[in-house]
Amino acid sequence: MSLKVEGLRKEFGEQVAVKDFSFEVKKGQVFGCLGRNGAGKSTTIKMILGLVNPTAGSITWNGEPIRNSGVKIGYLPEERGLYTKSKVSTQLTYFGKLEGMSTKEVEVAMDKWLARLEIPEYKHKQVSDLSKGNQQKIQLIASLLHDPELVILDEPFSGLDPVNANLFSEVIREEIACGKTVILSSHQMNLVESFCDEVCLLKKGESVVQGSLKDIKAGYEFKNLILDASEGLISQLKQMEIEFVEDKHELGIKIRSEQEGVMILNQLLEAGISLPQFKLMQPTLQEIFVERVG
Amino acid sequence: MKKFMICFLFHFKESVLTKTALIMAGVSFVGTIALIGGVNWWNSSRDDTEIVIFQNSEIYTLDSSLLEIEGVSFSFKPIEDLELAKEDLDAGEIDNIFVIEGTDMPIITSIYYDTNHFESELLISQLIGQQYLARVMAANDVSADVAEQLMRPIGVVHESLLDQEEMMIGSMISYIFGFALYMLLIICGQSIATSVVTEKSSRVMEVMISKINPLYMMFAKIISVLAVILTNVLSLVAAVVVCHFIGWINLSALLEGMLEVLEFPVIALGFTFVILGYFLYGLLFAAAGAMCSKVEDLQSVITPLTMAIIIPFIMNSFLPSHSPILAISSYIPFFSPFVTFDRFATGIAAPLEVGIVLTIMLVSIIILGKLAARIYVNGVMHYSDSVKLKDIKKLLQR
């Protein structure tokens, strides 16, 4: 089972929102769609959902056009899409029934999810009475209630405190473990990094970096050499005219290769600088994002 | 179709079972009962209309046995009590005072607070008039035959090509129907457009469109708004039925009276025009709602639609049914529910005209339905700061 997007393009008049975008997400995989605001992430998601018609390209699920495939999709929109004046239970029942569930099935699934997200007491509350974070939880339940095969999460962590963000992460991990195919769009790179097998960085509708996260990082030009900060080290690096970033007790140096790192370490040791520990790290997704998209 | 029903029932229940809606339904139910009960009590406890007559003429006098009107009580008082009677009139204890004076020519003065009692005034003036005539005849030695000939009115034979009675009843029915339709379209139209734009501005539409065909959503919304109004009407009907069982009104007599006036073809056509008119305007209001991104933008978009309801209603109310303007506008779909019904109820529109108009309306609804659906489907995913006319073209072309 897989979602395949080929040559996807969307034009709004003369403006091209998405330029010939292709990717494939297999069952149980997570595809991270990243980019700045207006990069074309939401338009791509809306095309997958059938909310916006593509100008060109195809979207298939198991080889069939997604609209005819009958795939169950769970969608969590970037902005909350709930009937604020309705009760949580009424609304979830409505969404569940539209996905073909019986009232009993909805009731069982609703209770399970409300308990999982630690908000069973809000079942009969009006949505507008709930906090932003709890509304986001209801939104997540609405997108997972019917046990979808394809889960599309557009900025799932927005408006969440760190505790709830962790809870969301756990739930998403559980869904991935259940074999769900997930498309994730977020600005929180650390979370994306922890979930995604494949990522894509979009810039002005175009994919600028795409592939497995491991390959992207391995093949990336820069690496980070991390050293414990000390006054002697700082003055020595300045003397050697090596650029570095100071972050509390650590210093980060961007290097092009492992050899360059070893060479710097040798030079520092020769200069009599004490190096209690050092780390050679791959670049973070955040760094790649800022470098390529920022 | 199952999804349509789920969507319809959700919107219907969410509108009918809200606290506000239940309170409103309860208030109108109790209010109707209270109103009918109040009118009933007023009618049963109301005293006769009190008429006081002051006879200040030796020549012209009224015989109390001739003063007979149902529900009216006549009494005679001496002229000295006139001021006291005026005070009673001011206090509402008396409804009308008549002072009869004159020696040669009779003078009848009617004194009242705000409205004269027309029936009493007519009777008194007729009785005094007869006395005056007899006096003039006697003074001039005019025989009864001559007097009768002199008094005989020059008759005008009326020969209208229209059935005047049908026309009068038809106009009355048409006005009531037009007002009810006008209220229905204004209230429901606003409600449909607000519901669509609220769903759009809250972004719930984005979640919904991936679950259900937007056309089902649009029609479910339009029909649920109508169903909510019908539920409110049902609560009023229930109140009337309760009043019937209490004995405050005679429902069967009321219905019999209505059926005497309303013929079946008029009822059927009225019902047809309500349904067709509702869908015609409902589709437009739904499309208007889909074009707006915020509730605040809605007013400017629906104002032209509101005008399209007000104009035919006013034309229907103030222009004579046989006016050429109404004859032409009868064929314009937005005018038809008001105008053609009026022309049919007053006996002017022939069945052929009605048939053509209904066909035009049906075709218009189909075309408009397709256009509105296109605007709705494309409009619900179209967000902009303000609504421009060129947006309609853009949405239709997508």
Mean pLDDT of all residues belonging to chain B: 87
Q: Does A80 reach chain B within 8 Å, measured CB to CB?
A: yes
Q: Find chain B residues with C-beta within 8 A of A50's C-beta.
A: 209-210
Residue A249 to chain B, least CA–CA distance (Å) = 45
What residues contact A205, with CB distance under 8 A and at least 6 apart? Answer: A10, A16, A17, A18, A19, A21, A39, A40, A43
d(CA B291, CA B393): 11
Q: Does A90 reach chain B within 8 Å, measured CB to CB?
A: yes
d(CA B265, CA B354): 11
Q: Chain A neighbours among B 337-356 (CB < 8 Å)?
A: none
CB contact under 8 A, A82 and B18: no
The structure tokens listed for A276 are 């209690």
Q: Find chain A residues with C-beta within 8 A of B6's C-beta.
A: 94, 97-98
CB contact under 8 A, B6 and A95: no
Chain length of chain A: 294
CB contact under 8 A, B381 and A90: no
Q: For residue A11, what pLDDT is reported?
A: 87
First and final C-alpha spacing in chain A: 34
CB contact under 8 A, B204 and A82: yes
| Tens digit of each residue's pLDDT (9 = 90 or more) over B322-381 | 889 989 999 998 899 999 999 998 888 888 999 999 999 999 998 888 888 788 777 766
CA of A66: which chain B residue's CA is closest?
A: B210
Q: Find chain B residues with C-beta within 8 A of A52's C-beta.
A: 381
DSSP notation for B234-278: HHHHHHHHHHHHHTSS-HHHHHHHHHHHS-HHHHHHHHHHHHHHH
Q: Does A70 reach chain B within 8 Å, measured CB to CB?
A: no
* Residue A128 per-residue DSSP state: G
CA of A99: which chain B residue's CA is closest?
A: B211
The structure tokens listed for A277 are 């520990």
CB contact under 8 A, B381 and A80: no
CB contact under 8 A, B206 and A81: yes
CB contact under 8 A, A85 and B3: no
d(CA B212, CA B194): 20
d(CA A264, CA A244): 12
**pTM listed for this prediction:** 0.75
Is the Cα dihedral A210, A211, A213, A218 positive or negative? negative
Q: Enter the ipTM.
A: 0.77
DSSP notation for A22-66: EEEEETT-EEEEEESTTSSHHHHHHHHHTSS--SEEEEEETTEEH
Q: What is the mean pLDDT of residues B69-78?
A: 90
Is the Cα dihedral B335, B340, B343, B346 positive or negative? negative
What region does A38 belong to: left with phi over 0, alpha with psi -120 to 50, or beta? Answer: left
When CB atoms are compared, the residue of A51, A83, A85 closest to B210 is A51
Percentages helix, strand, coil for chain A (3-state, rounded to 5) are: 40, 30, 30
Cβ atoms of B344 and B354 within 8 Å: the answer is yes
Return the percentage of chain B with pLDDT > 90, whole number: 37
Q: For residue A283, what pLDDT is reported?
A: 77
d(CA A39, CA A41): 6
> A292 or B91: whose pLDDT is higher?
B91
Residue B2 to chain A, least CA–CA distance (Å) = 9
Cβ atoms of B299 and B190 within 8 Å: the answer is no
What residues contact B151, with CB distance under 8 A and at least 6 apart? Answer: B133
When CB atoms are compared, the residue of B202, B207, B398 closest to A75 is B207
How do the pLDDT tens digits run along chain A, 294 residues long? 688 999 999 988 788 889 888 988 888 888 988 888 888 888 898 889 887 888 999 999 988 898 888 889 999 988 778 888 889 999 999 999 999 999 999 999 999 999 999 999 999 999 989 988 899 999 999 999 999 999 999 888 887 888 888 898 899 889 888 889 999 888 777 778 888 888 888 888 888 888 887 888 777 767 788 888 888 888 888 888 888 888 778 888 888 877 888 888 888 888 888 888 888 887 777 777 777 766
Q: What is the mean pLDDT of residues B141-151?
A: 84
Q: Find chain B residues with C-beta within 8 A of A75's C-beta.
A: 206-207, 210
Q: Does B21 reach chain A within 8 Å, measured CB to CB?
A: no
CB contact under 8 A, B381 and A51: yes
CB contact under 8 A, B205 and A81: yes
Chain length of chain B: 398
CA distances from A278 to A69, A264, A265, B374 (A): 52, 11, 9, 63
Cβ atoms of A133 and A111 within 8 Å: the answer is no
CB contact under 8 A, B210 and A75: yes
Residue type at position B200? K
Phi, psi dihedral angles at A22 (to 5 degrees): -135, 140
CA distances from B8 to A83, B19, B63, B260, B369 (A): 15, 19, 71, 37, 18
- Model confidence band, residue B101 (pLDDT cutoffs 50, 70, 90): very high
**The pairing of beta strand B49-55 with beta strand B72-77:** parallel
Q: Chain A neighbours among B 197-216 (CB < 8 Å)?
A: 199, 202-212
- Model confidence band, residue B388 (pLDDT cutoffs 50, 70, 90): low
Q: Which of B207, B212, B394 to mutate to test the interface with A (most CBs of A within 10 A)?
A: B207
d(CA B135, CA B129): 10
CB contact under 8 A, B202 and A94: no
